[in-house]
Amino acid sequence: MKNRSFIRLITITSLIAVISLSSFSIFFLSPSFTKLIIKETEFEAIKVGQHLSVSFSEIEKVGRELPDGFVYIASRAVNDFGLVKINVFAPDGEVVYSTLDEDIGKINKNAYFYDIVAKGQVIAKLVHKNTKSLNNQVMKVDVVETYVPIMHGADFAGAFEIYFDITDTINELNVLLFKSNFLLLLIAAGLMLIVLVTSHIARRSFIQQEIADKKIKQQLLEKEIILKEVHHRIKNNFASIGGLLFLQVQSISNPEAISALQDAIGRINSMQVLYEKLLLTDNYVVTSIKLYLDNLIDEIISIFPENPNVTVEKQIVDFQLEPKRLIPIGIIVNELLTNIMKYAFTGGDSDLIQITLKESQGNVTLVIQDNGNGLPEDFDLDTQKGFGLMLVKMLSEQLTGNFSIENNNGTKSTLEFSI
């Protein structure tokens, strides 16, 4: 779904780019060139006006009597600068001279003439073919109509109306804009084509990736189901073995045989509890040590119904640990608790077992202590040949840890290791 949204976003972005390029040409490039043409033509008109104004330098106000040689100068200006026409206005707006005879005698009564031109300001306007100029004349060609005031000192003496023929310039501009637009459209079309091809390739890649992802997920699901089934069967096998051993305990009376079978049942329970915890979670890599030990301790204590008055206090912090490390810890706990339940108590009412598990900066300390009979005075861990304690020492080394056991108002066993 995200892949489709990404492709849609690319397509929309490319369309916006195409529209933006065309809009740039229409709304920015063309108006900018037009303003530039008007400004350049206005500048040329001012130069022409200044050239023509020389003839009126000694006249306070333009009238019907024109300076000698002005008509010739105006005619030359029309030819030299490619002008459509030149009109000369008196201060009252009357056309006193024009290169087109039909304009002579007309009066410009428009507000812009008195409010702007008469105050010494230049006006320039682009007038397209077949549209009206500032003085309402329909033009037959594209022109820039410019009013250039004639000033005598600070006083308004008259004005020139100069029409520059810019038909060729406008045509050249239109050709340039057409080529520019065409080039921009080609670029946009090329960009669009690249985007479409890229989108198509990306879409195929996305589809292939989705198929591969689904296949991987299916394989992982199948493996998870198989792994869960394996754990379930192992748990059932442990339960079956434990059940058979328990039945064997019930059928014999030899204390040594019963003790050996109880030890075996405890060791099997330590592994069975772990597999039960693994089956209750979707994560087979790590599991909660607190949940594991809480259940394991209860299972071990339940094996010894003949000691109903034993109180168990548990203070176990919770953290995650791999099954391969939980199994030896579980067996160690089983061995120590089994020894306590078998040998520490003499049937009193205040029998107590305290189990503490702490973790600090990766260092774990497990303490199992009872208030029972304690160890014999000549007890030496290194010389012990009992299978239980030998197994505890071996599993401690497997955890790369240290195990110690001592008398402390009973028996205190300590296991330290790092995670």
For the CA atoms of 255, 259, 261, 265, the dihedral, rounded to the nearest 10 degrees, stands at: 150
What is the residue type of 365?
Answer: T
Residue 5 has pLDDT above 70, yes or no: no
d(CA 98, CA 78): 11
pLDDT, mean over the chain: 84
Structural fold of domain 252-418: Heat Shock Protein 90 (3.30.565)
Q: H/E/C letters for each residue in 389-405?
A: HHHHHHHHHHCCCEEEE
Per cent of the chain over pLDDT 70 is 90
In sign, the C-alpha dihedral spanning 91, 97, 98, 100 is: positive
320 strand-pairing partners: 288
- pLDDT confidence tier of residue 318, bands split at 50, 70 and 90: very high
Spatial CA neighbour of 296 closest among 281, 314, 319: 314
Q: What does the pLDDT average to over 227-255?
A: 81
What tens digit of pLDDT does each residue of 189-217 get?
777 788 778 777 877 887 888 888 888 88
What tens digit of pLDDT does each residue of 140-156 get?
888 889 999 999 888 99
Q: What does the pLDDT average to over 24-33?
A: 67
Q: What does the pLDDT average to over 221-247?
A: 80
Q: What is the pLDDT of residue 17?
A: 66
Q: What is the pLDDT of residue 105?
A: 92
Residue 139 has pLDDT above 60, yes or no: yes
- Report which of residues 231 and 71 the model is more confident about: 71
The DSSP element (H or E) to which 370 belongs, if any, is strand 363-370
What's the CATH class of domain 2-172? alpha beta
User: Long-range contacts of range 197-205, CB-CB < 8 Å, 24 or more positions apart?
Assistant: 198/10, 199/7, 199/10, 199/11, 202/3, 202/6, 202/7, 202/10, 203/3, 203/4, 203/7
Alpha-helical segments (H) within 126-166 = none
What tens digit of pLDDT does each residue of 54-68 get?
888 778 888 888 888
d(CA 331, CA 178): 88
Lowest mean pLDDT among 60-69, 98-107, 133-142, 178-187: 178-187
CA angle 126–129–130, rounded 5-degree value: 120
d(CA 390, CA 48): 118
What is the residue type of 196?
Answer: L
Asked whether 259 and 342 are in contact (CB, 8 A), the reply is: yes
Residue 1 has pLDDT above 60, yes or no: no
- How is residue 310 written in tokens? 């034993």
Residue 287 has pLDDT above 80, yes or no: yes
Which residues 6+ apart lie within 8 Å of 301 measured at CB?
310, 312, 337, 341
Residue 2 has pLDDT above 60, yes or no: no
Residue 153 region, left (φ>0) first, then alpha (ψ -120 to 50), else beta? Answer: left
* pTM (2 d.p.): 0.46
- How is residue 96 written in tokens? 């006193």
Q: What is the pLDDT of residue 7?
A: 60
Q: What is the pLDDT of residue 54?
A: 82
Residue 49 has pLDDT above 60, yes or no: yes
**8, burial (CB in 10 Å: exposed 0-12, middle 13-18, buried 19+):** exposed
Residue 11 has pLDDT above 70, yes or no: no
Residue 173 has pLDDT above 80, yes or no: no
Most confident among 102-116, 128-142, 274-288 (mean pLDDT): 102-116
Task: Provide the total of helices (H) and of strands (E) in the chain, helices listed first.
Answer: 9, 12
- The most distant pair of C-alpha atoms in the chain lies apart, rounded to whole Å, by 153
What is the residue type of 161?
Answer: E
Q: What is the pLDDT of residue 116?
A: 94
- How is residue 262 written in tokens? 């109880």
Q: What is the pLDDT of residue 230?
A: 77
- Report which of residues 185 and 415 the model is more confident about: 415
Asked whether 265 and 302 are in contact (CB, 8 A), the reply is: no
Q: What is the pLDDT of residue 223?
A: 79
* Tokens 């699901």 -> residue: 221
Q: What is the pLDDT of residue 360?
A: 93
Length of the chain equals 419
Residue 139 region, left (φ>0) first, then alpha (ψ -120 to 50), else beta? Answer: beta
DSSP string for residues in 54-117: GGGTT-SS--SSPPTTHHHHHHHHHHHHTEEEEEEE-TTSBEEEESSGGGTT-B---HHHHHTG
Per-domain residue ranges for the chain?
Answer: 2-172, 252-418
d(CA 157, CA 55): 12
Per cent of the chain over pLDDT 90 is 28
Q: What is the pLDDT of residue 284?
A: 63
